[in-house]
Amino acid sequence: MTEARQGLPGLLDTEAIRKDFPILDRQVHDGRKLVYLDNAATSQKPTQVLDALAGYYERHNANVHRGVHVLAEEATALYESARDKVAAFINAPSRDEVVFTKNASESLNLVANMLGWADEPYRVEQGTEIVITEMEHHSNIVPWQLLAQRSGAELKWFGLTDEGRLDLSPIDELITERTKVVALTLVSNIMGTHNPVETIVRRAQEVGALVVVDASQAAPHMVLDVQALQADFVAFTGHKMCGPTGIGVLWGRQELLNDLPPFLGGGEMIETVTMHSSTYAPAPHKFEAGTPPVAEAVGLGAAVDYLSAIGMERIQQHEHALTEYAVRRLQEIPDLRIIGPATAEDRGATISFTLGDIHPHDVGQVLDEQGIAVRVGHHCARPVCLRYGIPATTRASFYLYSTPAEVDALADGLEHVRNFFA
Amino acid sequence: MYQDVILDHYKNPHGRGLRDGDAEVHHVNPTCGDEITLRVRYEGGTVKDVSYEGQGCSISQASASVLNELLVGKELSEARRIQETFLELMQSKGQLEPDDAMEDVLEDAVAFAGVSKYPARVKCALLSWMAWKDATAKALGTTEADAAKEKTA
């Protein structure tokens, strides 16, 4: 097995990278080395991010956009410079197109609510349609179900092929003149599938529908260029990309952010307020009511710096090499069935599988006893489990600090699980 | 956590399969997708049968098997005492070392003591027991209502 993983092309210097992540040195269960393979749930944080968070609170903490004192100005500058960093990271044409939220769920709910309250031509209402896919995270299903129920619009979706990809064959029947919005994930959080968003964008543009992309599993792992993507909105979260929890991003095209109505009202999002009515601040502030997660934004800025210094292309190559190796090792295990693409092509470093009829909770528990952290369950994508007739899966997901040795630990751990329940 | 007793019950479950009953319930554990359909049959104050069908992890399935073994044939009051004792053990967060008295009541079910240390798995172990409690309330509720109906008729 050592031979098999020698000469994997494109691997990063994980020995150096892992020194930045103190938690990866942790031992669990009486001296077992932690093998953290739950990166699709959340990533670990490098000291650079932890220091930025602590440094912000130790030296600069104040509320933003409010005071004239030194700390208020420093805090505001730090918060707004995090917006600049994120804008550059996703190649946004303008920094004003970057809205800070608390996570990707909030970003997606924000879009759904903007469209529910919008005037023509954006308004989602009776007689119009919303299109999603069967492989969405619940956070890109439920907001659209709510909008459909409240507005009377119809909810439709792309199904999946047996190989874990979108079945695009009915695209012309699904996306029609009635479609107001198409929402889909760029990379599946359960199967790792990388979706051909460009095909869907092209069809949506033909009929004048907006496209919302959930990039939660893409932004941490690959070059994300919102201009190349050509979608109208892109949502992602900070904590899966080495940033802290509590900070998410919604990128939206400038003209849409200008035209669409606010959702949450409060401080910061206004221009003037009287007892009768208010006018609103320009985007992005129009969508950032209340004191924002300032320290978390600063932490996300540090995470973006960290990832950019290594290079998203190199991270993508590293994960691709690891995925190729992991798919190969996993397929050697008897009774293991990969749920989703069974090769490393057009997929991210998230691999779901079942192991004979051993329940994923048992797989996860016995792996945990060996120090290996995976996620088990339906991964907030229950329709995918229903589609493939399984109650749940075990999911291993890798990141820039993951190593071939950890893939080996997983494969050996799974052999142990098989023997344990044999 | 995976005591031999638990693995034995998982691999060779007692009383599995659905048979006639006075009431049926279906319980799910939404966090992990464990499911159980459970029926109870009473004769007088005695648990005549607990039959079940389900899917889920070894803990949830073994727990249903242990439940069947422990409760079938018991008087309702005794069965309730066992259920309450099991609940107490499972909610102990690993702090409770079962004593002889508890072992007398719970028999094989004391093997689940280790599970109580894992908050994510406690629900798996309790799934069938909560289903039994619910089915029993339903069965006896119906029986009492029927009895009341007969009286008024």
Q: Please say if the pLDDT value at position B146 is more than 80.
A: no
Kindly determine whether residue A421 and residue B58, on different chains, have CB atoms separated by under 8 Å: yes
Q: Which of A219, A215, A225 is nearest to A183 (CA)?
A: A215
Q: How far apart are CA B34 and CA A357, in angstroms?
A: 13
Instruction: Tell me how close the Cα of B74 comes to any Cα of chain A, in angstroms.
Output: 31
Pair (A212, A281) in one structural domain: yes
Task: Give chain A positions within 8 Å (CB) of B112.
Answer: none
Closest Cβ–Cβ partner in A362, A382, A385 for B57: A362
Chain B residues in contact with A385 by the CB 8 A cut-off are 33
Q: Are residues A237 and A329 in the same domain?
A: no
Verify whether residue A385 is a known catalytic residue.
no
Which run of H or E residues covers position B35?
strand B34-43
Q: Does B32 touch chain A (CB under 8 A)?
A: yes
Q: Are residues A342 and A361 in the same domain?
A: yes
- Tell me the two tokens of residue A124: 């989602």
Contact B35 A391 (CB under 8 A): yes
* Structural domains counted in chain A: 2
Q: Which two tokens stand for residue A360?
A: 């994923």
pLDDT of B150 over the 50 cut: no
- Residue A378: its pLDDT value, please? 86
Measure the CA dihedral A179/A184/A190/A193, to 10°: 110
Range of the domain at A315: 2-33+311-421
Instruction: Identify the helix (H) or strand (E) that includes residue A112.
Output: helix A104-117
Whether residue A219 is found in the same domain as residue A251: yes
Closest to A377 (Cβ–Cβ): which among B33, B35, B121? B33
Q: What number of other Cβ atoms are within 10 A of residue A348's Cβ? A: 28
B35 touches A at CB < 8 Å: yes
B59 reaches A (C-beta below 8 A): yes
> Is A376 inside any structural domain?
yes
Q: A131 with A29, same domain?
A: no
* Cα radius of gyration rounded to whole Å, chain B: 16
Q: Is residue A44 within 8 Å of A406, Cβ to Cβ?
A: no
A326 and A190 inside one domain: no
Position A1 scores a pLDDT of: 45
Total count of residues recorded for chain B: 153
List the domain boundaries for chain B: 4-145
CB-CB neighbors (< 8 A) of A376 in chain B: 32
Q: Is the pLDDT of residue B151 over 50?
A: no
State which of A293, A309, A325 marks the end of a domain. Answer: A309
Shortest Cα–Cα distance, A415 to chain B (Å): 17
Contact at CB, A391 and B1, closer than 8 angstroms: no
Residues of A in contact with B4 (CB under 8 A): none
CATH code given to domain B4-145:
3.90.1010.10
Q: Given an 8 Å threshold on Cβ–Cβ distance, is A361 in contact with B2?
A: no
Identity of the residue in A362, A378, A421 whose CB atom sits nearest the CB atom of B33: A378
Question: Which among A359, A366, A367, A421 is the top mutation candidate for probing chain B, defined by the most B β-carbons within 10 Å of its own β-carbon?
Answer: A359
Report the predicted TM-score, pTM, of the whole model to 2 decimal places.
0.91
Nearest to B57 among A359, A382, A420 (CB): A359
Q: Which residue of A366, A392, A420 is in closest CB contact with B32?
A: A392
Residue of A nearest to B34 (CA): A391
In this structure, are residues B97 and B89 in contact, taking their beta carbons and an 8 Å threshold? no
pLDDT band at B29 (very low <50, low <70, confident <90, very high): confident
Residues near A375 by beta carbon (within 8 Å), at least 6 away in sequence: A38, A40, A41, A364, A394, A395, A397
Contact present, B72 and B50 (Cβ < 8 Å): yes
Same domain, A10 and A92: no
Best mutation target among B57, B115, B122 (most A Cβ atoms within 10 Å) is B57
The reply to whether residue A421 touches residue B7, judged by beta carbons under 8 angstroms, is yes
C-alpha span between A314 and A321 (Å, rounded): 11
CB contact under 8 A, B31 and A377: yes
Query: Pick from B12, B2, B64: which is nearest to B35 by CA?
Result: B64
Q: Of A277, A309, A341, which residue is a domain's last?
A: A309
Q: Which of A183, A200, A212, A380 is catalytic?
A: A380
Q: Does A180 share its domain with A226? A: yes
Q: How many DSSP H helices and E strands does chain A contain?
A: 15, 17
pLDDT at B143: 56
Judge whether residue B47 has pLDDT over 90.
yes
Q: Among residues 73-102 of chain B, which lie with CB inside 8 Å of chain A?
A: none
- Which residue among A259, A287, A309 closes a domain? A309
Exposure of A312 in the CB half-sphere (CA atoms within 13 A): 18
Task: Give the residue from chain B lying closest to A382, CA to CA.
Answer: B33
Same domain assignment for residues A106 and A64: yes
Which DSSP symbol is given to A69? S
Tens of pLDDT, residue by residue, chain A (422 residues): 444 566 788 999 999 999 999 999 999 998 999 999 999 999 999 999 999 999 999 999 999 988 889 999 999 999 999 999 999 999 999 999 999 999 999 999 999 999 999 999 999 999 999 999 999 999 999 999 999 999 999 999 999 999 999 999 999 999 999 999 999 999 999 999 999 999 999 999 999 999 999 999 999 999 999 999 999 999 999 999 999 999 999 999 999 999 999 999 998 899 999 999 999 999 999 999 999 999 999 999 999 999 999 999 999 999 999 999 999 999 999 999 999 999 999 999 999 999 999 999 999 999 999 999 999 988 899 899 999 999 899 999 999 999 999 999 999 999 999 999 88
- Residue A184: CB atoms within 10 A of its CB come to 25
Instruction: List the one residue out of A60, A79, A58, A31 whose CA is nearest residue A298.
Output: A79
CATH assignment of the domain containing A64: 3.40.640.10
- C-beta atoms of A361 and B55 within 8 A: no
Give yes or no: residues A72 and A96 share one domain: yes
Query: Given A362, A366, A391, which is nearest B55 (Cβ)?
Result: A391
Q: What is the pLDDT of residue A348?
A: 97
Residue of A nearest to B7 (CA): A421
Q: Are residues A229 and A355 located together in one domain of the fold?
A: no
Q: Long-range pairs for A68-74 at CB < 8 Å and ≥24 separation? A: none
**In sequence order, which residues have a C-beta less than 8 Å from that of residue A138 and are 6 or more positions away?**
A380, A381, A382
DSSP label of B79: H
Report CB contact under 8 Å: A391, B56. Answer: yes
Coil, helix or strand at residue A275:
coil
Residue A126 lies in a domain: yes
- Ranges A416-420, B54-58, B91-95, B102-106, most confident: A416-420
The interface pTM score, or ipTM, of the predicted complex is 0.81
The number of C-beta contacts closer than 8 angstroms across A and B is 42
- Would you state the structure tokens that stand for residue A64, as one six-digit string? 């933003």
Which residue of B10, B34, B58, B115 to mutate against A (max A Cβ within 10 Å)? B58
Contact B32 A421 (CB under 8 A): no
A302 shares its domain with A315: no
Averaged pLDDT for residues B1-28: 93
Judge whether A296 lies within some domain: yes
Which token pair is A422? 């044999």
Tokens standing for residue A178: 């009635």
Question: Residue A390's domain is classified under what CATH number?
Answer: 3.90.1150.10
Query: Which residues in chain B are contacts of A377 at CB distance < 8 A?
Result: 31-33
Query: What 8-state DSSP symbol labels residue A160?
Result: B
> Residue B144 pLDDT > 90, yes or no?
no
Sequential DSSP letters for B89-137: HHTTTT-----HHHHHHHGGGGGGGGGGG-HHHHHHHHHHHHHHHHHHH
In a domain, A144, yes or no: yes
